[in-house]
Amino acid sequence: MEPILTGLGILTDPVAIAVILLGTVVGVLVGALPGLSSSMAVALLLPFTIYLDPIPAISMLAALYCAGTFGGSITAILINAPGAPPAAATAFDGFPMAQKGEAGRALGMAAVSSVIGGILSLVVMVLAAPALARIAHSFGPPEYFALAIFGLSMLASISGKSPVKNLIGGALGLLIATVGVDLTTGVERFTFGVPQLYEGISFIPILIGLFAVAELLSQADVVDRAMDRIALKAIKLPSRDDFKRVWKTILRSSGIGTFIGILPAEGSTMAAMIGYNEARRWSKHGDKFGTGEIEGIAGPEAANNAATGGSMVPTLALGIPGSATAAVILGGLQIHGIRPGSYLFENQPELLYSIFAAMLVANLVFLVFGLVGARLFSRISLIPRTFLWPTVFALCVVGAYGVNQSLVDVTIMLITGFIGFWLKRYGFGAAPIIMGVVLGSLVENSLAQSLIIFDQDASRFLERPIALGFFLLAFLSIFAKPISNGLKGLKRRRAVNGGHS
Amino acid sequence: MPSRWKDLLPGLLLLTMVAVLFAVTLQFDTVPAAFAQGMQSAAMPQLILVLITILTIVMIYQGHGHEEDKKAPMTWRFWATAAVLLSAAFLFKWLGITLTTALTCFALPLLWGERRITRVAIYSIATPLCIYLLFTHALQLRLPQGVLSPWLT
């Protein structure tokens, strides 16, 4: 009981409340701005949290994560330009509703479904994370190695055109994590005589470079387009009839979103898409989806916000990020000297409840902001690109410099920004690379320790049932789709051959 | 470049990078097995590089017979923006973060088509000034000020 009270005590700390509110406002604003994602906002804000105590710092990032996911729906509904990828599905029915003069009803439903999805997932988080951490208590290095491989293998199924490119991105991230002096042997690796690289490449410049500078370079060639901006008179809370129609959708999507969030690497975007598709599949008005159906808003919005709480479960309990933004938050935990996993729940159990409280407050605050301030937040998209992105660049520079007070980190940020731009142009996402960087030391250390335990015989991984289970899951997450496609092709060919004979 | 080999260019660049980095790993020092605790320092990078090679070959194979995706053209604006950012990287040391940021905040809006020069000028002074005040005075972070060091402390 004491950790719960201590954790929830954050709500009585004025500084903590102020930073949570700040995180929520920044989250909604950034979420509403097309091109700026919550991952990028968390990456940009992370260096500044170093000046805070760990608990308010992580709480602010968690609040930003929740609010950023909701913020995207405002511009998705009002101008058909999702502020963030998880809100893309919301635009399918949100914008048609707005065109029909129902923008207020659509935004009200988006806010309420987001809050319900978010809060339900937080309940799951607070129950499941300690349970999962207790299970993980019995894990040794072989199990952790297998778990990290499973986490990385899930990159094959995250959103993006090519699973193999996501896996290459993850491997590149692992490679970046090997830079610096090997702590076991004391041997320099890929330092090329640069003393600042002896301790490895800092996480924050890579994050900022890949998420923010790469996007800035992409924006250089974006032509401003005039968008239909739907006038918003007032936001309406969902009516009783609306609720009757969507409550099952909200509950189903909350479950889907939480489950997808818990899966390593899968984030809000996939949750929203599946939430939308399932809402359409189960709806009596499925054929009208895309023309302004209220369930088409409730489904993705409940799912994408539920994924935020879900994704914090593996992040806190196992140290395996549940999404790209959770990977950044995991980096934040590491920077603040917090070790996720069973150790965290034994030594700092109050952190979980602080994060719970912060995300709960964020959900309630963005409900109020969503209902009262949507009109104002939608105007944020009127900020000219020509002023927005140079400001982002200025914050990138200070953020990259601030952690180690080193201009080398600023140079690393710019280099990774250029590399990130090129990779993005060829279909490689930033999220897999970040996942690889975050998991790099876990993969290497647990493999080395496992080999010592196994006396250099890697085949003995097969003697550990949990590790074997994770390896099988990893195999399935990479090969399930190709195998299923192959079987379908075989069936088709047989059917064609059968028809000919 | 054959058009029916999607992803050939990134694939070849990745393979070249892998080859170079693998050669670098061969130069890593080795330590006695007792100190290596299971793995020599080159083992993990080499394992990852082999994995990247395999995945890259799969990517190139999957791209065979497919047209390269159409990409947005890179206009002069992109190259000019890249040049500004690279120049900034070199200028930070001499001009300091505040002055370099001011110059960047002045150049980028103009490059991106902003024509209201007074607004750009005000913006390019106000943004770095706010950042300077916030970080140097509120957060006590000493930003390198280069030639402005005598005045901005």
Highest mean pLDDT among A264-278, A394-408, B79-93: B79-93
pLDDT for A229 equals 60
B86 with B39, same domain: the answer is no
Q: What is the ipTM of this complex?
A: 0.91
Q: Which of B9, B36, B141 sits opposite A184 (nearest CB)?
A: B36
Which contacts qualify for A10-17: CB closer than 8 Å, 24 or more apart? A10/A55, A10/A56, A10/A59, A10/A354, A10/A357, A10/A358, A11/A357, A11/A361, A13/A56, A15/A52, A15/A56, A16/A55, A16/A56, A16/A59, A16/A354, A16/A358, A17/A361
Residue among A182, A387, A395 whose CB faces B41 most closely:
A182
State residue A116's pLDDT score.
Answer: 92
A489 burial (CB, 10 Å; 0-12 / 13-18 / 19+) is exposed
Cβ proximity of A381 and A75 under 8 Å: yes
Closest residue to A385, CB basis, from B25, B112, B141: B112
> Is the CB of A387 less than 8 angstroms away from the CB of B39?
no
pLDDT given at position A160: 59
* Chain A environment of B75 (Cβ under 8 Å): 220-221
Portion 417-436 of A in contact with B at CB < 8 A: 417-418, 423, 425-428
pLDDT of residue B25: 94
Question: Given pLDDT bands bounded at 50, 70 and 90, which one contains residue A250?
Answer: very high
| B106 inside domain | yes
Q: What confidence category does residue A233 fall into, taking pLDDT thresholds of 50, 70 and 90?
A: low
On average, the pLDDT of chain B sits at 88
Distance separating alpha carbons of residues A115 and A95, to the nearest angstrom: 20
Tokens of A330: 């995991």
Q: Is B12 a member of any domain?
A: yes
Look at B97 and A185 and tell me if their CB atoms are within 8 Å: no
Q: Is B129 on the interface with A (CB under 8 A)?
A: no
Q: Is the pLDDT assigned to residue A121 strictly greater than 60? A: yes
Contacts 24+ apart (CB under 8 A), A417-421: A417/A208, A417/A209, A417/A210, A417/A212, A417/A213, A417/A214, A417/A216, A417/A217, A417/B85, A418/A213, A418/A214, A418/A217, A418/B82, A419/A209, A420/A209, A420/A210, A420/A211, A420/A213, A420/A214, A421/A213, A421/A214, A421/A217, A421/A218
Q: Are residues B90 and B25 in the same domain?
A: no
At A78, the pLDDT band (50, 70, 90 cuts) reads confident
Residue of A nearest to B78 (CA): A220
Is the residue at B41 inside a domain?
yes
- Give a yes or no: residue B146 inside a domain: yes
Report the phi/psi class of residue B72: left, alpha or beta, with left for phi > 0 and alpha for psi in -120 to 50: beta
- Give the rounded percent of residues in chain A with a pLDDT score beyond 90: 15
In a domain, B39, yes or no: yes
* Structure confidence at residue A228 (pLDDT): 59
User: Do B32 and B99 share a structural domain?
Assistant: no
Q: Tell me if B35 and A184 make a contact (CB, 8 A cut-off).
A: yes
Asked if B70 reaches chain A (Cβ–Cβ under 8 Å), the answer is no
Q: A395 at the B interface (CB within 8 A)?
A: yes
Is the pLDDT score of A223 beyond 80? Answer: no
For residue B21, give both structure tokens: 């980095």
**A389 chain-B contacts, CB cut-off 8 A:** 108, 112
B122 and B98 assigned to the same domain: yes
Q: Which pLDDT score, from 0 to 100, does residue A491 have?
A: 85
pLDDT band of A414, cuts 50, 70, 90: very high
Answer yes or no: do B38 and B85 share one domain.
no
Q: Is the pLDDT of residue A418 over 90?
A: yes
Is there a contact between A258 and A306 (Cβ–Cβ < 8 Å)?
Answer: yes
Report CA Rg, chain B. 24
Which pLDDT does position B3 carry in this prediction? 58
The answer on B82 and B49 residing in a single domain is: no
A220 pLDDT above the threshold of 90: no
DSSP A86: G
pLDDT reported for residue B79: 93
Residue B2 lies in a domain: no
**DSSP element (H, E) containing A57:** helix A54-79
Scan residues 10-69 of B and list those with Cβ closer than 8 Å to A.
10, 14, 21, 24-25, 28-31, 35-42, 44-45, 48-49, 51-52, 55-56, 58-59, 62, 69
The answer, yes or no, to whether residue B140 has pLDDT greater than 80, is: no
Tell me the percentage of chain B whose pLDDT exceeds 90. 50
Per the model's pLDDT, the better-predicted residue between A344 and A171 turns out to be A171
pLDDT score, position A264: 77
Least confident range from A3-12, A165-174, A447-456: namely: A3-12
CB contacts, 8 Å: A387 with chain B: 109, 114, 123
Note whether A390 contacts B: Cβ–Cβ < 8 A: yes
Q: Which residues of chain A from 184 to 203 reach within 8 Å of chain B, CB to CB?
A: 184-190
Of the candidates A388, A56, A400, A127, the residue with the CA atom closest to the CA atom of residue B144:
A400
The answer to whether residue B71 is domain-embedded is no
Residue B105 lies in a domain: yes
Instruction: Identify the pLDDT of residue B80.
Output: 94
pLDDT of residue A173: 93
**Once rounded to an integer, what is the mean pLDDT over residues A104-127?**
89
The conformation of residue A382, written as its DSSP 8-state character, comes to: G
Question: How many CB pairs below 8 Å do chains A and B form together?
Answer: 170
Whether A85 shows a pLDDT value over 80: the answer reads: no
Domain that holds residue B47: 8-63
What is the per-residue pLDDT across B3-40, written as a single tens digit (0 to 9) for each?
578 888 999 999 999 999 999 999 988 888 777 777 88
Q: Does A386 touch chain B (CB under 8 A)?
A: yes
Helix or strand or coil: residue A262?
helix
Test mutation, A49, A164, A457, chain B, max B CBs within 10 A: A164
Q: What is the DSSP string of A220-235?
A: TTPPP-----------
Section A358-372 average pLDDT: 82
Indicate the average pLDDT of chain A.
84
Q: For chain B, what is the domain count?
A: 2
Is B59 in the same domain as B81? no
Predicted pLDDT at A224 = 60
Q: Which of A230-244, A308-322, A457-471, B67-81 has the least mean pLDDT?
A: A230-244
Task: Examine the domain organization and report whether B58 and B24 are in the same domain.
Answer: yes
Give the C-alpha separation, A363 to A20, whole Å.
11
Residues B147 and B108 in one domain: yes
Q: How far apart are CA A122 and CA B50, in angstroms?
A: 41
Q: In this structure, are strands A188-189 and A180-181 parallel, antiparallel, or unpaired? A: antiparallel
Q: Do A178 and B93 touch (CB under 8 A)?
A: no
* Same domain for B57 and B80: no
Name the residue facing A168 among B56, B105, B113 (closest C-beta).
B56
B59 with B82, same domain? no
Q: Do A447 and B39 touch (CB under 8 A)?
A: yes
Per-residue model confidence (pLDDT) at position B119: 93
pLDDT over threshold 80, residue A84: no
* Chain B residues near residue A405 by CB distance under 8 angstroms: 141-142
Confidence of residue A469 (pLDDT cuts 50, 70, 90): very high
Residue with the bigger pLDDT between A363 and B45: it is B45
Could you tell me if A96 and A52 are in contact, meaning their C-beta atoms sit under 8 angstroms apart?
no
Q: How confident is the model at residue A227 (pLDDT cuts 50, 70, 90)?
A: low
User: Residue A321 is encoded by which pair of tokens?
Assistant: 């990020």
Pair B95, B137 in one domain = yes
Confidence (pLDDT) at A24: 87
